[in-house]
């Protein structure tokens, strides 16, 4: 540091000691405003609560926890689960890439409709989806009846779990892929095509590399979802890691052992995060070139039009039409048997809506805080906060719920079992869903644009309001829509943390299916779909920056 | 617009908005009563709860959830738990909660309401209804074909024809009882035999029953009342029937239990609630609605249940030990059943 | 502001990023109404200096005054939005969600004065494009919008960061000229940053050559080109040839001829001369050197001729394209243009240098 002598005057606010340089090292070259940093720290710590809970339990009886975590059985289950995770992620990408390209870059007829339909499967809760797949494709299922076949090949196990998870999570990759495709500068592709590259080669060599960040972000969400999912794998009878955790704490009532296994999940999640951020590469994703891009001319499909429509149709049929068809069938039976009350369903729908909307709004704001810190004020601290914010998603909902039970009863009992606590739990659990789209759309906004606004005479807050917010609005909407979709169908945390008497569509479905009242569960499930459709439309349309 | 959303939800949340959309009974009483954590869904306990509410003119606030999740919640909540009573829908949970020291001893008059084999030896919880672990079979089968003991289901003639529910708590209890009666080796052999014989896994008892009805499997280890309910709903020609194997722990009584939390400050009201669950009218409700066995002394089971409860073995003592349960889980995992 | 007022004054600016000293003691004065350039290689700190002036970075030390106001020193820091500065970024940084008029009017407040917006647009020749979304404009048009946007609030000084580097080479010259016209007619003080010597020399009234965070030389384009303060500056601004010579205080004598000595120069010196000042011909003045053409590159309007002098030294000459010289031609070589002299450094080779040193 320069000494304070002669003409070289020192500015205030810089600590002229070694300690100062360490603070600088932590907070980076640019210091974020104190309020923003404080908000980011709050978000990061809140997201860490479930992991902290696990830590408390593990530390309480380290030997038992390690025993559970490091047993050979655990290793086997872990391997199986990782295999499923990899397979589902690959499958989701394999579906999302062509669908994304078809609905953004080609002249596929009714593109927007296809886009919305292809994104809708995200709404279907995994346990409902698995049920429906079995009802349709399983032994003594509808397809078997329809085809008149004696016995279809068994859908249970790895195959069924893979199908159930891939079909209903691929939209998590589709959404960022479409958003990125809309913002990629088509000049690169035009150049490649002008040089004689065929479209497939152009796509592979020019477009796909630019899609890596989107694939990494979406793939990460899919992988984390698979890790933490319980509904689909248990119905499909696949022995996954979460099933181990569930068995340990539910059948053996062994909290410590379960916490040990949960800690393994957290480690897995950190590893996945690391892989994903490496794939995403350097921080500067925003375009450095001058000006704004022109939208691309659509690629003419020609005789490939019908196969393309066929592909979209096939995916939509299996992952949307089929499940919805089964639901409608059951709903019909339910209505004709008179076991459903419209008023009740409406009240339930309202509850689901309130909770999910609140979690979505707050979650989007939190994700924006974290994204701004990580994007505009990069430093070890802000990067750490961004990583922490993912902590709540990799763990099963029940762990998040129990963690909050643990902390709420000790720290803020007055808030225990209030709506505020439930919304808090859902926000913590689903926050990472928003950090992806919001982070991506913030990265698309060059810091120069914000600086230009500053120099033109606006305060930082005004710049944020007039420039940053409109430009990230698409990402914020996409992020909140994603949180909304997941929060609206969430089950275990709602059961435990909602105020007594507060029922949602999801808890009602669960209630009905406990004893096999499938018909009665169909109407709430359909209402769930209806509620989720508008945010989905938003996602598929506006999941991009409006240029 | 975003700001409005946040403000609205913050306001909403702060008010601790509480809607009781699920209570479908007659006018709710005004005064607040006890808080119940129930692992049994509304359809299964609603009648009994409503009856109690009417009797004491207080509103019972019920949190419905999964039994094991609720038990875990109680453990986490500890002293700060808002619950006054816990109604477990599956075995195994209540002893775990009791071992964590969360339950208070019930008064003797309550304990006397059921025979000793249906309650905690230390008086911390008491059984309300009973379900029998037994064998369900497809009507296509002749009764003479059925095994005299579940241990015979590992025979080659039953390969791929039997279903069971490894994740269910009731199977865990059954295996524990098997271990305690016949020893670990017999139990392990049976488990490994079932796995080797292609026993089909199902996530819960409902799925087993439906699978038998659909012809997927011929028989299954199940709780009796699922079949009884289906028969009551669909009629006597429902293609699944019950059979109580006479030998080798062919059947077993498991109870749904209720206990009062030590942390509760409404203990007397909670005791009243327990008494009401064991009253003749409530016991009759359980009998009629869910076809379970009433455990209160002198209560009559539903006529459709033809085997008297006294003839069926009931666990006791060590079966309630959580450590035994954990050992069972381990054994099942090692055998490849879980 | 009077014509000889100082619009911008920098004193002792320092800025570190981690362990890197991007700006290491920068002093500069810029007269009001003039167009100045900060010229230097990539990474020399010129863009950082610009950002310090704009207030987008805080210096570690130093003082910045804009007009009569001190905007940055040990005790004050005026935020960028209050500095009355206009800035044109290298990638224009237009607001993609606003149309052209909204972009231009952004700096004029919440409800910009329509007339002023129209005036600014007219200044850059885009009167009829106000309603267009910015992504529909060409690169050159976008740059003009950026300029109009910066000029609209009548700033005290306009900063331009490599404003022409993103334009197609063919357009560059024309647009340079247009932009300079616009700046002059707006009467505004302008400071632009570039790594392109030709650009700086052709546009600016005064050029400051920046190297490793400090200013090596300030002067008019002619001054710094023909009388570079150091070998490095000379090499950066163009090709140089270095010929050893001796000086006796009155004249400097070297292989290519002699020139009047500047006072105080005595002893061995290096003479730095541009290839375009090296003349060749079949005959030459009396003290011209003998040489032979060893190579030639033809560029259309000029040619670069490589020569070997009788002494064995190699040298290059840049002449008009005609008459053509060919390898093997025997010629006379002398200098016929400005040359500069620096005392010879002991132990340094006198090879022709065009080495640009990277900045660490």
pLDDT band at A121 (very low <50, low <70, confident <90, very high): confident
- Rounded to the nearest angstrom, the minimum Cα separation between B14 and chain A is 6
- Rounded to the nearest angstrom, the minimum Cα separation between A295 and chain B is 29
Q: Are residues B276 and B243 in the same domain?
A: no
pLDDT the model gives residue A8:
32
State how far the Cα of A426 lies from the Cα of A423, in Å rounded to an integer. 5
Lowest-pLDDT range of A441-445, B275-279, C50-54: A441-445
pLDDT band at B1 (very low <50, low <70, confident <90, very high): very low
Beta bridge partners of C133: C99
Q: Residue range A236-250: average pLDDT?
A: 81
Contacts of C133 in chain A (CB under 8 A): 547
Tell whether the model's pLDDT for residue B184 goes beyond 60: yes
- Rounded to the nearest angstrom, the minimum Cα separation between C88 and chain A is 8
Q: Are residues B111 and B168 in the same domain?
A: no
Q: How far apart are the first and last CA of chain C?
A: 40
Contact flag for A and C (3+ C-beta pairs < 8 Å): yes
pLDDT band at B28 (very low <50, low <70, confident <90, very high): low
Chain C CB within 8 Å of residue A14 CB: yes
Tell whether the model's pLDDT for residue A293 goes beyond 80: no
Q: How far is CA A506 from CA A132, A533, B56, in A?
A: 15, 16, 32
Q: Residue range B254-261: average pLDDT?
A: 92
Q: How many helices (H) and strands (E) does chain B have?
A: 12, 10
Tell whether the model's pLDDT for residue A287 goes beyond 60: no
pLDDT band at C347 (very low <50, low <70, confident <90, very high): very low
Return the SS3 of C230.
Answer: coil
Counted across chains A and C, CB pairs separated by less than 8 A come out at 124
Q: Are residues B242 and B265 in the same domain?
A: no
Q: Residue range A450-469: average pLDDT?
A: 91
Beta strand residue intervals within C179-265, DSSP E: 189-194, 206-211, 214-219, 241-248, 251-254, 257-260
Q: Residue range A41-64: average pLDDT?
A: 87
Supply the DSSP symbol for C306.
Answer: E
Q: Residue range C104-127: average pLDDT?
A: 89
Chain B CB within 8 Å of residue A252 CB: yes
Q: Residue range A235-250: average pLDDT?
A: 81
> What token pair was written down for A370?
């974290």
Tell whether the model's pLDDT for residue C353 goes beyond 50: no
Beta bridge partners of C268: C246
Fold of C6-84+155-231: Rossmann fold (3.40.50)
Name the average pLDDT for chain A: 79
Contacts of B81 in chain A (CB under 8 A): 409
Is residue C323 reached through a cis peptide bond, with omega within 30 degrees of 0 on the bond before it?
A: yes
**pLDDT tens figures, A416-446:** 888 889 999 999 999 988 887 788 788 878 8
Beta strand residue intervals within B139-272, DSSP E: 162-164, 200-201, 219-223, 240-243, 252-260
- Rounded to the nearest angstrom, the minimum Cα separation between C127 and chain A is 19
pLDDT band at A290 (very low <50, low <70, confident <90, very high): very low
Tell whether the model's pLDDT for residue B333 goes beyond 90: no
Domain count across chain B: 2
State how far the Cα of A313 lies from the Cα of A317, in Å rounded to an integer. 6
**pLDDT tens figures, C5-51:** 888 999 999 998 888 888 888 899 999 989 999 999 888 888 999 99
Q: Residue range B176-191: average pLDDT?
A: 91
Q: Are residues B302 and B215 in the same domain?
A: no
Beta bridge partners of C343: C269
pLDDT the model gives residue B6:
53
Under a CB-based contact definition with an 8 Å cutoff, are residues C136 and C159 in contact?
no
Q: Are residues B266 and B224 in the same domain?
A: no
Contact C62 A451 (CB under 8 A): no
Q: Are residues B275 and B236 in the same domain?
A: no
pLDDT the model gives residue A128:
75
| C298, containing H or E segment | strand C289-298
From the list B69, B201, B215, the residue facing A398 with the nearest CB is B69
Q: What is the CATH number of the domain that holds B228?
A: 3.40.190.10
Q: Are residues B68 and B192 in the same domain?
A: no
pLDDT band at A267 (very low <50, low <70, confident <90, very high): confident
> What token pair was written down for B167?
């994740």
How large a percentage of chain A has pLDDT more than 70? 85
pLDDT the model gives residue A496:
85
Tell whether the model's pLDDT for residue A169 goes beyond 60: yes
Angle at C282 (CA atoms; ends C281, C288), nearest 5 degrees: 65
Contact C142 A458 (CB under 8 A): no
User: Residue C295's CB: how many other CB atoms inside 10 A?
Assistant: 14
Q: Are residues B264 and B196 in the same domain?
A: no
Provide the angle, in degrees to the nearest 10, between the axes of the packed helices A208-228 and A158-169.
120
pLDDT the model gives residue B24:
39
Contact flag for B and C (3+ C-beta pairs < 8 Å): no
pLDDT band at C172 (very low <50, low <70, confident <90, very high): confident
pLDDT the model gives residue A289:
47
Tell whether the model's pLDDT for residue A206 goes beyond 70: yes
Contact A451 C80 (CB under 8 A): yes
Q: Residue range A254-279: average pLDDT?
A: 82
Under a CB-based contact definition with an 8 Å cutoff, are residues A253 and B71 in contact?
yes
User: Residue C355's CB: how many other CB atoms inside 10 A?
Assistant: 11
Chain A CB within 8 Å of residue B45 CB: no
How much is the CA Rg of chain C, to the nearest whole Å? 24
For chain C, where do the domains classified as CATH 2.40.50.140 start and end? 241-343
Is residue B38 reached through a cis peptide bond, with omega within 30 degrees of 0 on the bond before it?
A: no
Pick the residue with more confidence: A56 or A524? Answer: A56
In-domain check, residue B217: yes
Please tell me which residue of chain C has the smallest CA distance to A16: C60
Domains of chain A: 49-286+305-542 (1.10.3720.10)
- What ipTM does the predicted assembly reach? 0.79
State how far the Cα of A47 lies from the Cα of A28, in Å rounded to an integer. 23
In-domain check, residue B297: yes
In-domain check, residue B317: no
In-domain check, residue B72: yes
User: Residue C158's CB: how many other CB atoms inside 10 A?
Assistant: 21
Contacts of A469 in chain C (CB under 8 A): none
State how far the Cα of B68 lies from the Cα of A29, in Å rounded to an integer. 50
Helix, strand, coil percentages (3-state) for chain B, rounded to 5, are 45, 15, 35
Chain C CB within 8 Å of residue A12 CB: yes
CATH architecture of C241-343: Beta Barrel (2.40)
| A522, containing H or E segment | helix A518-542
In-domain check, residue B26: no
State how far the Cα of A518 lies from the Cα of A515, in Å rounded to an integer. 8
In-domain check, residue B179: yes
Q: Are residues B236 and B328 in the same domain?
A: yes
Q: Are residues B186 and B245 in the same domain?
A: yes
pLDDT the model gives residue A294:
63
In-domain check, residue B10: no
State how far the Cα of A320 lies from the Cα of A99, in Å rounded to an integer. 15
Contact A418 B12 (CB under 8 A): no
Q: Are residues B76 and B51 in the same domain?
A: yes
Contacts of A330 in chain B (CB under 8 A): none
Provide the angle, in degrees to the nearest 10, between the axes of the packed helices A111-119 and A72-105.
170
Q: Are residues B121 and B141 in the same domain?
A: no
pLDDT band at A19 (very low <50, low <70, confident <90, very high): very low
In-domain check, residue B316: no
> What token pair was written down for C149?
């946007």
pLDDT the model gives residue A5:
38
Lowest-pLDDT range of A325-334, A512-521, B156-165, C322-331: A512-521
- Rounded to the nearest angstrom, the minimum Cα separation between A35 and chain C is 18
Residue A398's φ and ψ, nearest 5 degrees, are -70, -35
Mutation target for B interface from A232, A239, A252, A367: give the one with most B CBs within 10 A: A252
pLDDT the model gives residue A478:
79
Under a CB-based contact definition with an 8 Å cutoff, are residues A525 and A349 in contact?
no
pLDDT the model gives residue A295:
65
Under a CB-based contact definition with an 8 Å cutoff, are residues C162 and C194 in contact?
yes
- pTM value is 0.77
pLDDT the model gives residue B275:
93
Domain of B213 in residue numbering reads as: 132-253+323-334
């Amino acid at each position: 540091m320069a000494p304070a002598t002669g003409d070289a005057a020192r500015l205030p606010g810089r600590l002229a000691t070694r300690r100062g340089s360490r603070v600088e090292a932590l907070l980076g070259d640019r210091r974020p405003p104190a309020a923003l940093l404080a908000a980011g720290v709050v978000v990061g710590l809140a997201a860490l609560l479930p992991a902290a809970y696990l830590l408390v339990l593990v530390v309480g009886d380290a030997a038992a926890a390690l025993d559970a975590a490091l047993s050979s059985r655990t290793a086997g289950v872990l391997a199986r689960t990782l295999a499923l995770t990899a397979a589902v992620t690959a499958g989701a990408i394999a579906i999302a890439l062509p669908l994304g390209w078809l609905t953004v870059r080609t002249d596929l007829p009714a593109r927007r409709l296809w886009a919305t339909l292809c994104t809708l499967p995200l709404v279907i809760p995994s346990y409902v989806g698995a049920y429906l797949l079995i009802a349709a494709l399983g032994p003594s299922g509808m397809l078997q009846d329809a085809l008149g076949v004696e016995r279809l090949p068994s859908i249970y196990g790895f195959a069924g779990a893979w199908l159930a998870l891939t079909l209903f999570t691929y939209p998590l990759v589709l959404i960022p892929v479409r958003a990125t495709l809309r913002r990629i500068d088509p000049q690169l592709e035009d150049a490649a095509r002008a040089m004689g590259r065929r479209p497939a080669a152009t796509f592979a060599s020019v477009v796909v590399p630019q899609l890596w960040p989107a694939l990494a972000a979406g793939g990460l969400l899919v992988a984390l979802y698979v890790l933490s999912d319980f509904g689909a794998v248990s119905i499909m009878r696949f022995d996954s890691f979460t099933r181990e955790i569930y068995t340990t704490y539910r059948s053996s009532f062994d909290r410590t052992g379960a916490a040990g296994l949960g800690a393994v999940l957290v480690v897995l999640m950190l590893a996945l995060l690391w892989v994903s951020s490496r794939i995403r590469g350097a921080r500067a994703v925003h375009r450095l070139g001058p000006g704004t891009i022109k939208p691309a001319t659509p690629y003419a499909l020609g005789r490939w039009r019908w196969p393309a429509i066929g592909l979209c149709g096939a995916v939509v049929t299996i992952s949307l039409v089929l499940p919805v068809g089964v639901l409608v069938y059951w709903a019909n039976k339910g209505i004709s048997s008179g076991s459903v009350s419209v008023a009740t369903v409406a009240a339930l729908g309202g509850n689901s809506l309130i909770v999910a909307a609140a979690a979505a709004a707050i979650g989007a704001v939190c994700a924006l805080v974290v994204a701004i810190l990580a994007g505009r004020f990069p430093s070890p601290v802000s990067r750490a906060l961004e990583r922490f914010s993912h902590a709540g998603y990799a763990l099963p909902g029940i762990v998040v719920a129990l963690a909050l039970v643990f902390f709420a009863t000790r720290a803020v009992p007055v808030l225990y079992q209030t709506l505020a606590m439930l919304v808090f739990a859902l926000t913590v659990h689903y926050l990472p869903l928003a950090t992806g789209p919001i982070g991506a759309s913030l990265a698309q906004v060059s810091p120069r644009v914000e600086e230009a606004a500053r120099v033109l005479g606006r305060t930082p807050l005004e710049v944020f309001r007039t420039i940053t917010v409109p430009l990230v609005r698409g990402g914020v909407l996409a992020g909140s829509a994603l949180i909304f979709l997941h929060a609206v169908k969430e089950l275990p945390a709602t059961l435990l943390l909602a105020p007594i008497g507060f029922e949602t569509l999801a808890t009602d479905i669960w209630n009905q299916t406990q004893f096999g009242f499938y018909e009665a569960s169909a109407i709430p499930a359909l209402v769930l779909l209806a509620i989720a459709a508008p945010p989905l439309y938003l996602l598929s349309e506006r999941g991009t920056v409006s240029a | 617009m975003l700001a409005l959303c946040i403000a609205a939800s913050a306001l909403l949340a702060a008010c601790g908005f509480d809607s009781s959309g699920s209570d479908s009974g007659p006018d709710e009483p005004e005064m607040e009563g006890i808080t119940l954590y129930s692992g049994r869904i509304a359809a299964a306990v609603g009648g009994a709860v409503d009856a109690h509410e009417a009797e004491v003119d207080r509103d019972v606030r019920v949190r419905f959830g999964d039994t094991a999740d609720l038990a875990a919640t109680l453990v986490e909540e500890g002293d700060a738990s808002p619950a006054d009573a816990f109604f477990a829908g599956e075995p195994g949970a209540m002893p775990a909660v009791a071992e964590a020291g969360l339950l208070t001893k019930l008064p003797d008059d309550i304990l006397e309401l059921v025979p000793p084999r249906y309650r905690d030896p230390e008086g911390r919880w008491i059984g309300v209804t009973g379900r029998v672990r037994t064998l369900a079979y497809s009507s296509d089968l002749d009764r003479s074909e059925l095994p005299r003991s579940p241990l015979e289901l590992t025979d080659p003639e039953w390969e791929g024809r039997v279903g069971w529910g490894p994740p269910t708590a009731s199977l865990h209890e059954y295996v524990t009882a098997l271990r305690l009666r016949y020893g670990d080796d017999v139990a392990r052999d049976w488990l490994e035999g079932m796995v080797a014989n292609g026993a089909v896994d199902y996530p819960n008892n409902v799925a087993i029953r439906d699978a038998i009805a659909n012809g997927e499997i011929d028989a299954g280890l199940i709780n009796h009342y699922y079949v009884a309910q289906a028969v009551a709903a669909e009629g006597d020609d429902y293609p699944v029937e019950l059979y109580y194997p006479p030998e080798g722990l062919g059947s077993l009584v498991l109870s749904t239990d209720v206990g009062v939390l030590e942390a509760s400050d409404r203990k007397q009201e909670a005791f009243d609630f327990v008494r009401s669950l064991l009253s003749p009218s409530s016991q009759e409700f359980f009998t009629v609605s869910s076809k379970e066995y009433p455990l209160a002394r002198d209560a009559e089971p539903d006529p459709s249940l033809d085997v008297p409860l006294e003839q069926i073995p009931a666990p006791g003592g060590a079966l309630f030990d959580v450590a035994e349960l954990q050992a069972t889980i381990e054994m099942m995992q090692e055998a490849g059943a879980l | 502001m009077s014509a000889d007022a100082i619009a911008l004054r920098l004193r002792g600016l320092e800025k570190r990023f981690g362990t890197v000293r991007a700006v290491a003691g920068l002093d500069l004065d810029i007269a009001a109404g003039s167009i100045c350039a900060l010229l230097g290689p990539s990474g020399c700190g010129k863009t950082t200096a610009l950002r310090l002036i704009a207030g987008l970075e805080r210096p570690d030390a130093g003082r910045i005054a804009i007009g009569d106001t001190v905007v940055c020193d040990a005790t004050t820091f005026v935020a960028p939005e209050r500095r009355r500065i206009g800035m044109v970024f290298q990638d224009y940084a237009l607001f993609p969600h606003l149309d052209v008029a909204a972009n231009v009017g952004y700096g004029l407040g919440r409800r910009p004065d329509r007339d002023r917006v129209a005036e600014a647009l007219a200044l850059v020749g885009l009167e009829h494009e106000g309603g267009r979304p910015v992504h529909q404009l060409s690169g050159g048009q976008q740059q003009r919008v950026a300029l109009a946007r910066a000029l609209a609030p009548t700033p005290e000084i306009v900063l331009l960061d490599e404003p022409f580097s993103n334009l197609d080479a063919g357009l560059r010259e024309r647009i340079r000229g247009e932009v300079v016209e616009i700046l002059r007619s707006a009467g505004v003080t302008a400071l632009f940053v570039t790594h392109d010597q030709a650009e700086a020399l052709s546009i600016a009234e005064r050029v400051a050559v920046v190297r490793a965070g400090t200013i090596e030389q300030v002067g008019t384009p002619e001054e710094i080109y023909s009388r570079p303060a150091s070998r490095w500056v000379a090499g950066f601004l163009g090709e140089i040839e270095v010929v050893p010579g001796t000086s006796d205080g009155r004249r400097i004598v070297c292989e290519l001829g002699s020139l009047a000595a500047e006072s105080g120069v005595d002893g061995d010196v290096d003479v730095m001369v541009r290839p375009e000042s090296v003349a060749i011909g079949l005959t030459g003045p009396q003290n011209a050197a003998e040489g032979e053409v060893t190579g030639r590159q033809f560029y259309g309007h000029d040619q670069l001729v490589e020569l070997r002098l009788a002494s064995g030294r190699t040298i290059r000459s840049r002449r008009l394209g005609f008459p053509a010289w060919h390898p093997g031609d025997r010629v006379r070589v002398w200098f016929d243009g400005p040359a500069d002299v620096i005392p010879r450094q002991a132990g340094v080779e006198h090879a022709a240098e065009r080495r640009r040193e990277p900045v660490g």
